[in-house]
Each structure stands twice: as structure tokens, then as C-alpha cells.
């Protein structure tokens, strides 16, 4: 039989036990003896130290308690002290969390009572039941006293009304009397009634004073009790939220029934998973300091506008108004939805569109042993370690770029806008929508081979078609061009830079994205934000987007500043929040956008703006009076069973579907990617290594030809020697090797990967370099010829890369 579970600690109990405490990256977690007593959590190296040496103490009254995963939790008091702790089991961690929460609630209550100078319960700390009974008796006694005072006020009020009426009658009779002997009697009567009225009024005033004094003496105590109850409610809500997350996690774990290596379940041997690398000043590592990211304060506040603005713009169905002030020229949402609705009368006349697949083979639940990968790489260069497809998803980076067109309807609507500011709102929403597919996509896309292409022809069913090509290998760069019948063109060139931070990986996309509209000739450009992959070493992978984007209209000078807030456990804001403001060339704000990059975006028109109070960092925040917010974009739901299909969207499921007539360099024809999609991962790994070796051979030959063409006859003898050096360097040129520039090495700035001395004279097949005069940037732009070659079925000019 299993041993009985110890009872959950109650307030006032002393709770003791062993926990693993994070010290530093060298020592990792160390076993420590923790003691919880009287609202204080102290720890020692062993039980023998309890009598003489305390290693650290934290006051729970001002501390935050956060649960990170099944066994880890964090206790922090605002920056001065932070304990990253790990229990041996999830049950033991829950016992500690319960004890800590109860001790914290009691410590907060005792601190509130010690600050109050009013009546107190007996000085000795009572138990939970006794303290609650004392408070109830005290409140009932106070309420009875206040009730009696109210009754006195009612009695005095009745007497004042009665004597006031009698005094008024006497004064009226006195005015009606003529001078006679009865005047003296009447005057005496009036004086008596006036005296009674004054006495009653004084009693009323005294009763009011007593009531006011009593209410004031207890108001401070009641306010503190209200704040305490409110804080306790917030903590309970946070606890319920955490329990809901744990419940969801357990459900997924039960369905998946995955098996982890034994080293991951051993807290003494495991790495620091789910915990930021952060120690406290009282522990063994005093030289290293780690700081949590501070949450940026909001730059602006939105409030509802005056109702007169709603009446004035009520005829505008879309919530927008054009710059000319004519509401009937604004874009109507109903018309736009009719134009893009597949059931509209216009589309019924078109030929039937192709039925595309809605499922791919389920992802195999292969066990990945990291040691089996690393043991064969001992003594080798870091860049020479081949990465298996186990970390990938069966799509290439070119196909991931094409996924930006998931919500192409936003650009279709933007093309119909009469106002550049309205158009900016749709372009900004399209910018945010491109991140919605990444929230659950933790798999790495295949790095494209040099010269690899991918076409996405949706001309018949969606009105656009796009082409991507890998135009450079070092650094890896991909060019993308999309053209729509609705009057817009999208082009982009993306180069990825990454930085490994120990626990997470930051991916910084370099290059720009441009969108051009034929009718208005507006030219927009923007860049992507940083993508962060958390829990690289241990724990469940999750992705966050953070940074700022400036969408600029180079023709009009309009600008939209979007801010992607980084995720913070302690933030009370909505996770994955995005905010933005659309301004004209003079800096005047016209629209506010808000929402999340994984769910939806809303916009609202600004009617009036003013400067508000200073924020937490002294920055003056702007207050915008806006109309009611309207939804401009909403994420499409994932298909059924997406969790077993790499969390692909409906569009992503169709990207690797086989099609006739595509170029021989298309990603759909890549064999290792096709094998991975079919679940043959061992064959995919072997094929992947063959393709990488083939790419290295082609690159060496290309460099050899370039050097020979550039060398003089006298230098011809040195060509072979230089080529041999190039071959040595190219041994590390695997598909998954880190880019030589501008990626930072994880070993610090002093460790720079070896770079080849020979230039690469590769010329892209379908794209040419172009200096854009509007944005001042250089990027690869589609030069034409691909779709004509597809119509003719002539692909003789394409290289054989697969």
C-alpha cells in the first residue's frame, strides 16, 4: 500500500520539507531544507543549520507566488529576492503552494490589522475560526450601535417637525392679534415653543455628530477589510486560472501519453526547465545578476467619444469616414464581404474550383533521444552537426512565407478604399494576421536549397498567385512576389538572424515587406518583429512575438505604429496583445487598432485626443476619444484534428499537396520533405543528408569556376590550392548550419564561424536585385518569365537540385 498523504497545512501551522533551489548555471538546483512559519519562508543547507545559520528568508506578505510547470514554482518579493524552487513531485509542489498561499493570506491580514489603530481582537493570534468569530461580533456590535443612532435621528426629526409646526402657528397667531392684554400670554407661549424647537434641534445636531464620528472611526477599518477581500479574490482567480491550465495540460498529456527520458524526471539531474536564469542575492552565486523583462506601460488610453460623434457619422456603415468628409464614399463592410463571399452571384458564373485536401498523415509519435544525436558529434564543429527532421515540420521556409497570404481578403478590401488612412488600417491588420499561424507551430520549417522555388497559384479561386525563390545561401535569403487581380502586389525578401540565449532562441527577420496598390499608387513597407522560441532545452516549446512595427505609406507619409507586447506571467494585460495608432504625415492620430496577434484585431476612429496624466515611468500618455470599436480581422479556426497535423491551418494543409506542371525546383518535389510528411522519418533523414552533400558539391564547383574566370593566367596555378581551402570550409556548409552572417554565435562575440574566402556568383533564376527609390532599400524583385514558362511547360533552364 502507498503511504497515506499528509494533511494539507492550515493557517498557523509550521510547514517544513526538502526542496530543490536554483543557484546558478554551474551548480544548477541544490537540495535545501525549507521552513514556513509565521508568514516567513526560510531555508537552510541542512536541518542541522536551523539552530544557527539561516541562508535566506522571504516575507510572504509582499511576495508573489507563481507556478511554472508540474514541479517548478517561483517566489519573489518584487526584485530584491527571488527563489526558483522545484519539488520532487507534482503532489509535493501542490502541498507547498497550498501552504504558501494560506500563509500569505494570513500574513496580509495580520499586517492590515497591525496598521489599524481601532479596536482589535485579543493580542494573542487566534485560530482561523476564532478570528472570524471575533470579527463578526465586532461588526454586529458596530451595526447595532449605528442602528440605534439612526433611530435617534428619526425621533429627533419627528420632534423637530412637530415643534416647528406649533411654533409656526404661534407666530401666525401673534401677527393676527391686535395690541391687547392677550399679547403677553401669546409671547410667552411663542417663547416656550421656540425653546423646545431649539432643544430638539440641538439634540438632532448632537445625534448627527455622534453618527458621523462613529462612521468615520470605522470607515478606515472597513476599507482595509474591503481591499483585503479584493486582493484575496484576485489571488483566487489567479489560482483558478492556473488550475485550469494544469487541467488542460493533464488532459493533453493523458491523450498523448508521451514518454520522457528518465533524466528529465530527476530534479537533481535535470536542467533548469521553465525557470528564468535568475538567482537571489542571498544565495551562493552573488556575482551574476539576472533581471526579468519589465512590462512597458501603455502609451495611450482610449475612452468612448461623445454621442454627438456617433450621430454625425451614423451613416457610415464601416465605421470609417473618408478624408473628404463624405460618408457615402467610405468602404462598406457589406459590399466588401459580398465581393469576397464564395456564395455571391459573381462567383456562381465561374468554373468550379479545385477541391483541395483537408488532411495530411498524422504526426508520428517518435521518441527522440538527444544523446543518440550528440554522441556522434563529439569533437566535431558545431556547424557540422546535422539536425534530424524530428525538429521539423513538413513544409519549407518558402511555403511558410506563402502562408502570409492566409488572409489575402484584407488586401482585397484595402484595394477598394478611397482613403489612404482607411487603407492603412487594413494593411496593418494584414501585417498582424501573418503571425496568427505561428502560435502553436513549434516545428522548424525546412531550410530551402539554393534555387528552390514554390508557387502558390490561387488565381481561379482567390484571385492571386505568388512565387518564392531561395536567392542566397550565405546568408540564407528568400524572395517572395504575389500579384492579385484585385489590384495589389506584395513583395518581400526575408533573411533570418538568430541568437541562442540559453533557455530560448530569438529569431530576428531581416529585410522588408512591401505592398503596392495599382489604383491609388500607394506604396507601403514594413518589417517583421522578433520571434522567440521558449524552453529550448527542457520543457514544452512555446512561441511569442514581440517588438514594434512601423507600416509606412511612402506616397502620403501616413504611418501606423504597431506594438507587440511580450508575454509576462505577472502582467494583468491580455496575452499576445497588439496595439497601434494610425497617423497622417503631420502626426495627427486618426485610428486606433487593438487586439491580439493570435485571435482578432479591432479598429476605432478617433474623434478627439488630449494629453492625460503621466504613466508609471513619467511618460505622458495620450487619451483618445473613439467611436465604438469594430472587428477588422478574425483568425480562422483550425481544422479538426490540427493538433495531430502539426497545427497546420487549412491553407497550410494544401501547400505541400502534389500538383502537375510546377517547376522541378518546387518545394513539393523535395523528397526528404515528402518522406517526412508520409511518416518515413528515417528515410527522410538519410535523404536530407544526400541533398545537403549535393548542394555542397555544386557550390564548390560554382566557386571554382568563378575563381578561374576572375584569375589571370599567372594566377592559374594558385586556383587549385584556393579551391582546396574552399572545400575544407564547405565541409561545414550543411543545410541546418547557422548562417555565417549576421547570426551571433552562442559562444559570444569572440567565436566567429569560419567564412569562405571565395565569393558566390550565384544569380537567382526568377528574381533580380532592385534598388527601391521609395523605401531606399535593396531587395530581389520578380523579373517575370515563370508563369509563361509554366504555360509552355518549358523548364529546361531550371537547375537539378533534388
pLDDT reported for residue 316: 41
- The x, y and z cell numbers of residue 260, run together, are 520522457
Q: Give the confidence band of 695 by pLDDT, cuts at 50, 70, 90.
A: confident
Contacts of 405 by beta carbon, 8 Å cutoff, 6+ apart:
456, 458, 464, 466, 482, 490, 651
111 pLDDT above the threshold of 80: no
pLDDT reported for residue 615: 54
577 — phi, psi (to 5°)? -75, 145
Beta-strand relationship, 15-24 and 559-564 = unpaired
Percent of the chain with pLDDT over 70: 71
- The x, y and z cell numbers of residue 416, run together, are 477598394
Cβ count within 10 A of residue 581: 23
Q: Which helix (H) or strand (E) holds 489?
A: strand 488-500
Contacts of 133 by beta carbon, 8 Å cutoff, 6+ apart:
none
Residues 447-470 pLDDT 10s: 999 999 999 999 998 999 999 999
* CB distance 273 to 539 below 8 Å: yes
Contacts of 774 by beta carbon, 8 Å cutoff, 6+ apart:
523, 525, 554, 555
737 pLDDT above the threshold of 80: no
Q: Give the confidence band of 776 by pLDDT, cuts at 50, 70, 90.
A: confident
Question: How many angstroms separate the CA atoms of 629 and 602, rounded?
Answer: 6
pLDDT reported for residue 242: 81
Q: Which helix (H) or strand (E) holds 563?
A: strand 559-564
Side-chain half-sphere CA neighbours of 114 within 13 A: 9
User: Angle CA(582)–CA(588)–CA(591) in degrees, nearest 5?
Assistant: 30
Distances (CA, A) of 253 to 177, 256, 259, 439, 643: 100, 5, 10, 19, 13
Beta-strand relationship, 620-626 and 300-304 = parallel
526 pLDDT above the threshold of 90: yes
| Average pLDDT value over all residues in the chain | 76
Q: Give the confidence band of 386 by pLDDT, cuts at 50, 70, 90.
A: low
pLDDT reported for residue 719: 47
**SS3 state at 150:** helix
Most confident of 4-8, 42-46, 118-122: 42-46
pLDDT reported for residue 298: 63
- The x, y and z cell numbers of residue 232, run together, are 484575496
314 pLDDT above the threshold of 70: no
Beta-strand relationship, 589-596 and 559-564 = unpaired
Question: How many angstroms separate the CA atoms of 384 and 371, rounded?
Answer: 16
* CB distance 488 to 432 below 8 Å: no
**SS3 state at 744:** coil
pLDDT reported for residue 470: 94
442 pLDDT above the threshold of 90: no
Compare 114 and 801 and report the one with higher pLDDT. 801
Residues 570-606 pLDDT 10s: 777 888 999 999 999 999 999 999 999 999 999 999 9
The pLDDT of 764-786, averaged and rounded, is 91
790 — phi, psi (to 5°)? -70, -40
Q: What is the number of residues in the chain?
A: 802
Which range has the worst mean pLDDT, 38-47, 611-620, 743-752?
A: 743-752
Beta-strand relationship, 392-396 and 444-446 = parallel
* CB distance 635 to 599 below 8 Å: yes
| Domains annotated on the chain, with CATH | 14-111 (2.30.29.30), 370-612+621-690 (2.40.160.120)
Name the residue with cell 550565384: 762
> Which residue stretches of 500-625 are H helix?
none
Cβ count within 10 A of residue 751: 10
Beta-strand relationship, 523-526 and 630-634 = unpaired
The pLDDT of 335-339, averaged and rounded, is 39
135 — phi, psi (to 5°)? -65, -40
* CB distance 6 to 268 below 8 Å: no
Cβ count within 10 A of residue 268: 11
* Burial class of residue 590 in the structure, from the number of CB atoms within 10 Å of its CB (0-12 exposed, 13-18 middle, 19+ buried): buried
The DSSP annotation for 664-685 comes to TTBGGG-HHHHHHHTT-HHHHH
Q: Give the confidence band of 256 by pLDDT, cuts at 50, 70, 90.
A: low
- The x, y and z cell numbers of residue 460, run together, are 481561379
Residues 470-510 pLDDT 10s: 998 878 899 999 999 999 999 999 988 888 777 788 888 98
- The x, y and z cell numbers of residue 173, run together, are 397667531
**Does the global pTM surpass 0.75?**
no
* CB distance 477 to 495 below 8 Å: yes
pLDDT reported for residue 156: 74
pLDDT reported for residue 208: 82
**SS3 state at 646:** coil
Contacts of 155 by beta carbon, 8 Å cutoff, 6+ apart:
none
Amino acid at each position: 500500500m502507498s503511504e497515506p498523504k499528509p494533511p494539507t497545512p492550515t493557517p498557523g501551522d509550521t510547514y517544513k520539507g526538502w526542496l530543490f533551489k536554483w543557484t546558478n548555471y554551474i551548480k544548477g538546483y541544490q537540495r535545501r531544507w525549507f521552513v514556513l512559519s509565521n508568514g516567513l519562508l526560510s531555508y537552510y543547507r541542512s536541518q542541522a543549520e536551523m539552530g544557527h545559520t539561516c541562508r535566506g528568508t522571504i516575507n510572504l506578505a509582499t511576495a508573489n507566488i507563481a507556478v511554472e510547470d508540474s514541479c517548478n514554482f517561483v517566489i519573489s518579493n518584487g526584485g530584491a529576492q527571488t527563489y526558483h524552487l522545484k519539488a520532487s513531485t507534482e503532489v509535493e509542489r501542490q502541498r507547498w503552494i497550498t501552504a504558501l498561499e494560506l500563509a500569505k493570506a494570513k500574513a496580509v491580514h495580520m499586517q492590515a490589522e497591525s496598521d489599524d489603530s481601532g479596536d482589535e481582537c485579543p493580542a494573542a493570534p487566534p485560530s482561523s475560526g476564532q478570528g472570524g468569530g471575533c470579527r463578526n461580533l465586532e461588526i454586529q456590535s458596530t451595526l447595532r450601535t449605528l442602528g440605534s443612532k439612526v433611530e435617534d435621528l428619526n425621533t429627533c426629526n419627528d420632534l423637530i417637525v412637530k415643534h416647528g409646526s406649533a411654533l409656526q402657528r404661534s407666530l401666525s397667531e401673534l401677527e393676527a392679534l391686535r395690541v391687547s392684554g392677550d399679547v403677553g400670554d401669546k409671547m410667552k407661549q411663542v417663547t416656550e415653543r421656540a425653546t423646545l424647537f431649539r432643544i430638539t434641534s440641538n439634540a438632532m445636531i448632537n445625534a448627527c455628530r455622534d453618527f458621523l464620528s462613529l462612521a468615520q472611526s470605522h470607515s478606515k477599518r472597513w476599507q482595509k477589510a474591503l481591499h483585503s477581500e479584493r486582493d484575496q479574490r484576485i489571488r483566487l482567480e489567479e489560482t483558478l486560472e492556473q488550475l485550469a491550465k494544469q487541467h488542460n495540460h493533464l488532459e493533453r498529456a493523458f491523450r498523448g501519453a508521451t514518454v520522457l527520458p528518465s533524466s528529465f524526471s530527476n530534479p537533481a539531474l535535470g536542467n533548469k526547465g521553465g525557470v528564468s536564469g535568475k538567482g537571489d542575492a542571498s544565495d551562493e552565486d552573488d556575482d551574476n545578476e539576472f533581471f526579468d523583462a519589465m512590462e512597458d506601460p501603455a502609451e495611450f488610453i482610449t475612452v468612448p467619444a461623445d454621442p454627438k460623434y456617433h450621430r454625425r457619422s451614423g451613416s457610415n456603415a464601416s465605421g470609417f469616414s473618408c478624408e473628404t468628409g463624405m460618408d457615402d464614399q467610405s468602404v462598406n463592410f457589406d459590399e466588401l464581404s459580398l465581393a469576397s463571399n464564395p456564395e455571391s452571384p459573381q462567383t456562381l458564373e465561374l468554373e468550379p474550383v479545385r477541391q483541395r485536401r483537408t488532411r495530411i498523415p498524422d504526426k508520428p509519435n517518435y521518441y527522440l533521444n538527444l544523446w543518440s544525436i550528440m554522441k556522434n558529434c563529439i569533437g566535431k564543429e558545431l556547424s557540422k552537426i546535422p539536425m534530424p527532421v524530428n525538429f521539423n515540420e513538413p513544409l519549407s521556409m518558402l511555403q511558410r512565407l506563402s502562408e502570409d497570404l492566409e488572409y489575402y481578403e484584407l488586401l482585397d478590401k484595402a484595394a477598394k478604399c478611397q482613403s489612404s488612412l482607411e487603407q492603412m488600417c487594413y494593411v496593418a491588420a494584414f501585417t498582424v494576421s501573418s503571425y496568427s499561424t505561428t502560435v502553436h507551430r513549434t516545428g522548424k520549417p525546412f531550410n530551402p536549397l539554393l534555387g528552390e522555388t514554390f508557387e502558390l497559384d490561387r488565381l481561379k479561386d482567390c484571385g492571386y498567385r505568388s512565387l518564392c525563390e531561395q536567392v542566397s545561401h550565405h546568408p540564407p535569403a528568400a524572395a517572395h512576389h504575389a500579384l492579385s487581380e484585385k489590384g495589389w502586389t506584395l513583395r518581400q525578401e526575408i533573411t533570418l538572424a538568430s541568437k541562442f540565449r540559453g533557455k530560448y532562441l530569438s529569431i530576428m527577420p531581416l529585410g522588408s515587406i512591401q505592398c503596392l496598390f495599382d489604383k491609388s499608387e500607394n506604396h507601403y513597407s514594413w518589417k517583421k518583429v522578433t520571434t522567440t522560441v521558449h524552453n529550448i532545452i527542457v520543457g514544452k516549446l512555446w512561441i511569442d512575438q514581440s517588438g514594434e512595427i512601423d507600416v509606412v505609406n511612402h506616397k502620403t507619409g501616413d504611418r501606423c505604429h504597431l506594438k507587440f507586447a511580450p508575454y509576462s506571467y505577472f502582467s494583468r494585460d491580455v496575452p499576445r496583445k497588439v496595439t497601434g495608432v494610425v497617423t497622417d504625415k503631420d502626426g495627427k492620430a486618426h485610428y486606433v487598432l487593438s487586439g491580439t496577434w493570435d485571435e482578432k484585431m479591432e479598429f476605432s476612429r478617433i474623434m478627439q485626443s488630449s494629453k492625460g496624466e503621466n504613466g508609471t515611468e513619467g511618460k505622458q500618455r495620450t487619451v483618445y476619444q473613439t467611436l465604438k470599436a469594430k472587428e477588422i480581422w478574425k483568425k480562422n479556426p483550425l481544422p479538426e484534428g490540427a493538433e495531430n497535423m502539426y497545427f497546420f491551418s487549412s491553407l497550410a494543409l494544401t501547400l505541400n499537396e502534389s500538383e502537375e506542371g510546377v517547376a522541378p525546383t518546387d518545394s513539393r518535389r523535395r523528397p526528404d520533405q515528402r518522406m517526412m510528411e508520409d511518416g518515413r522519418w528515417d528515410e527522410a533523414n538519410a535523404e536530407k543528408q544526400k541533398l545537403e552533400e549535393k548542394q555542397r558539391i555544386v557550390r564548390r564547383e560554382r566557386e571554382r569556376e568563378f575563381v578561374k574566370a576572375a584569375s589571370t593566367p599567372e594566377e592559374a596555378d594558385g586556383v587549385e590550392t584556393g579551391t582546396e581551402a574552399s572545400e575544407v570550409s564547405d565541409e561545414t556548409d550543411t543545410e541546418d548550419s547557422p548562417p555565417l552572417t549576421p547570426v551571433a554565435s552562442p559562444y559570444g562575440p569572440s567565436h566567429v564561424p569560419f567564412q569562405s574566402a571565395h565569393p558566390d556568383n550565384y544569380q537567382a533564376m526568377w528574381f533580380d536585385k532592385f534598388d527601391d527609390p521609395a523605401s531606399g532599400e535593396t531587395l530581389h524583385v520578380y523579373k517575370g518569365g515563370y508563369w509563361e514558362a509554366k504555360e509552355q511547360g518549358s523548364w529546361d533552364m531550371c537547375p537539378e537540385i533534388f
